[in-house]
Every structure is written in structure tokens, then in C-alpha cells.
Amino acid sequence: MLEGPSIYTLPIFRNTQVAEEPGSRRIPVDHMVKGERVKYWRELRASKLIKWETFPKFPLVLNADGSPWAPACLWLVDRARANPLKASSLNPLAQGLRAYKRFLDEVGLDWDDFSAVDKYLRPTYLYKTHLQDLINSGAIKRSTASGRMQTVVSFYRFLKETERMAFRPQNAPWVDLTVGLQYRDTQGFKQVKVVQSTDLSVKVPKRDYAWDRGIHDGGNLVPLSQNEQKGLIHALKKLGNREYELMHLVALLTGARIQTVLTLRWGDFAMPPSQVNQWPFKLRCGPGTGIDTKNNVTDVYLSVQRDLYEWLHTYAVSEKAMARRVKSDLKESPENYLFLSNRGGPHYESKDDLNVARNSDEPLKRSSPTGQNLRSFMTDYLIPEVRKTIPNFSFKFHDLRASFGVNWVDAVLQDQDTHQRYNWARDQLRKLLWHANAITTDRYLQYRQHMHQLEQADADWNRHLHELIRSA
């Protein structure tokens, strides 16, 4: 017996139907169940788009006894089929359902028991109260609770709207609400979007921190100071791991995110620098290139300066890099990754490569790497090394992206902060960082002014406090 509901990740999930006899495209199943041999075949559903019925790293929500929680698993299958290219995003949903099932087991409720006339005794309302208790105790963040509640609502919506699930609750799981959300469009004008909500939603009020030193760009990014950047590079040199050093330099000198850095292909850097026609080198990224971008953004280019290209080329054709490619599946194919582990495995498996598995009848034999080795290197070696000279130093890999943006703004706007120059810099930086909305770009341009004023205010405040203390 397992300790509560759990998650089991299938190496690969294929949408199949049971068959009693062998045949073409039928996969044999032969195993023991309670001492009895069970033998049958799984038949792949006949479809020209069969690959979209195959999902690598598919999470299953299991009951406490190890059996699949059927309605939860069926909803996850539905989510995967609705957006097969983002099947990797299923794990947070599975974790949210596991948390919900654990709560139901603890209070002794069935997921489909909505018999209570008092709505606050129904599973969904009881779960919201439970989440609020966790928030109040500091066990989880309000944003985490909001996400878990949204997952539960989406799960029940699927059950209610899918005829074959035959879910007809005796009483309503929630009350639907219509709310208006304010936002700013790409031109900076306020707009209102009408959306559907429920009385179960956990509100997450947005509060700005007056002394915020970050830039909000797909998360709160904190640019490294010039001194911190020098300390980081010095530490990388001292540690002597060229692969990890280059990964950091790519992010710092291009603004690329981790999934882009780690899915670069060695063939893109095989050409000697002397044969490159134009600098900076423009490298196309996104779906179809093998190089991942956030949200699968297309038609974008990574701008690689000559020095960085030369470093990457030198590494790409080095004996060390070739030795790692020999151990890998793609060998010397130009489509092989630039950065490989010492065993020849990728540091981050691209979406294009994961989708190849959809056409394969062979199960995946390993989990998909998503930069864990790089993050471990940062935590275990790099940050401790920097702290030898800069105490309390800490950073996230994506902080290098913010550092690139701020460095670029400093370089192009120094002594030329005119209106025309500002607009040009804004447009160029938006393209370099692949921002869909120029408002995000504005945060980089405003950062330096904000920091200057913040530092001045901080100094004035400290001086005032010292004078107050002395006068007392």
C-alpha cells in the first residue's frame, strides 16, 4: 500500500485500444496480475496523425493503492490531445490533482459526492477552505493555492462537459461568475477583458514592492551588477569547466534563455569564423530549427557577436566535443547538440527531438533532461566560488538574460539619451530579446533610471536616520 495518492510518469503514452490477437501495429502486453498471467495486445488507433496520439513523459495520478485515478488520467489525456506540442506541461496539472485527491482521502470524501445541500460541505468548497488554511499557516503561497484551485475547476469542467464521462453532480460544484480584467495593450492603453470565473477562485492581489530591484520578464529577473558579472566570470574561469563557462557566456552575451542555450546545435558553429559573411552572426531559432524558444515563438534570431562565435566554434570542433558526440545517438550529425554531457547525453532535450518519439514504437529509456546538471553546477560549485569574493552572492540562470539587457541599454544609450535614440534602442532590444510586447522591453530601459533614483533615495533616507539618531 502506498502512502497516499502519487504520480507515476510513463516513459511514453500511446493512445491504443485493446485487441485479443496479434497483428500489424499491435504491441504485446504480457504480465502477471495477482498471480495470473494476463496477455493481450494494444492496437494503435488508425490515424494519419498517429504521432499526435503519442506523448512522452506522461504523468498518471495514482490512488493510494497504486491504481490509476481514472477520471484524472482521462482528463490529462484530453489535455495532451488538445495541445500535443505542450504535453510536457501536464506535470503541474497532475501534481495539482494529486494534492486534491490526497485532501479528499484525508477527509473521507469521494470526488463525485456533491450530495450536500450546504454548498460549503461539498468537495470543491471544502478544498478551497483547506487551501486558505494552508495560505494562512504559511505552508503554501497564495499563487500556488490559486493554481491548485484552477486545476480542480478545469478538471470538473471536463467531467461535466464530456458526455461519455456521465458526470451529473447532484448539486453545483461552484457558482459561475463574469469578471472584467484590466490590462494594457501593446500601445500602452488600458483595456478590459471579460472572462469567466467562479466563486472558488483564490484571489492573488498584485502588490508592487517599493524597493524592487528586479525586471519582470517571464519571472522576476535581477540583473547582476558589473562587479557581480566580473566575479561570476572569474569564478567560471577558476573552476575550469569550459562547457558550463560557455553556457553562461552565451546567456550573458545574447540574452538567451536556458532552453535556447542548451539546445544549440553544433553544426551551426562548424563554419570557421573567416567564412561567416556578416557580423553579428544571425542564428534562426524556434520550431523546426531544433533550438527551443519560450512558448515556441517563431521567426526569431539569436544575435551572436564574433568573439562569442569564435569561442563556440573552437569548442564545437575540439577533440573534447567530438569525443562526446561519438558517445551520443546523433554522432557527427550537424543536428547534434553543441553541449553534451561527458556520456554523450543532452543537457536539455528539445521539443523537436521529443516529438520524434511520437513516431517511434520503442519506449523511452530515460527521463528528459531540462538543465538539471547546469543548475546543480551553479548551486554546488559556481555560487560557492563567487561567494569567496562576494559574500551572499546568489543568482538564477535567467538573471543573465536581464544582465544582457541592462548591459546593452547602458552601452547604446550612454551620452546619447535622445528621444530618437531611445526609440531606436527600444525597438532593437525588443527584437534581441524576442519580446512580443514592447512594454516588457520598456522595463529594461526604465531600470537604470529606477535604480539611480532608488539608490539616491536609499542614501538620503539613511542620512536622515543617522541625523535623527544623533539628534536624539
pLDDT score recorded for residue 452: 56
**397, 415, 416, 404: which is closest to 441 by C-alpha?**
404
Pairwise CA distance, residues 147 & 153, whole Å: 10
- In 157-214, the DSSP E strands lie at 176-184, 190-198
Coil, helix or strand at residue 280? coil
pLDDT score recorded for residue 155: 96
If you count DSSP H runs as helices and E runs as strands, how many of each does the chain have, helices first?
15, 11
Phi, psi of 177, deg, nearest 5: -130, 155
With the C-alpha atoms ordered 74, 76, 78, 80, is the resulting torsion angle positive or negative?
negative
Coil, helix or strand at residue 87? helix
pLDDT score recorded for residue 133: 92
Q: How far, rounded to the nearest angstrom, does the alpha carbon of residue 188 sit from its chain's CA centroid?
A: 27
**100, 83, 73: which is closest to 5 by C-alpha?**
100
User: Do 264 and 338 form a contact (C-beta atoms < 8 A)?
Assistant: yes
Task: Point out the residues of the chain with pLDDT beneath 70.
Answer: 1-2, 25, 33, 44-52, 85, 87-88, 179-195, 205-219, 355-367, 415-418, 447-466, 468, 472
What residue spans define the domains of the chain?
225-394, 401-471
pLDDT score recorded for residue 417: 60
Please report, for residues 8, 48, 55, 126, 260, the alpha-carbon distance to residue 14 in angstroms, rounded to integers and kept in the order given: 15, 14, 6, 36, 28
pTM higher than 0.75 for the full model?
A: no
Residue found under cell 522576476: 220
Pairwise CA distance, residues 311 & 304, whole Å: 11
With vertex at residue 374, the alpha carbon angle to CA 371 and CA 380, rounded to the nearest 5 degrees, is: 135
Q: What share of the chain is helix, strand, coil (3-state, %, to 5)?
A: 50, 15, 35
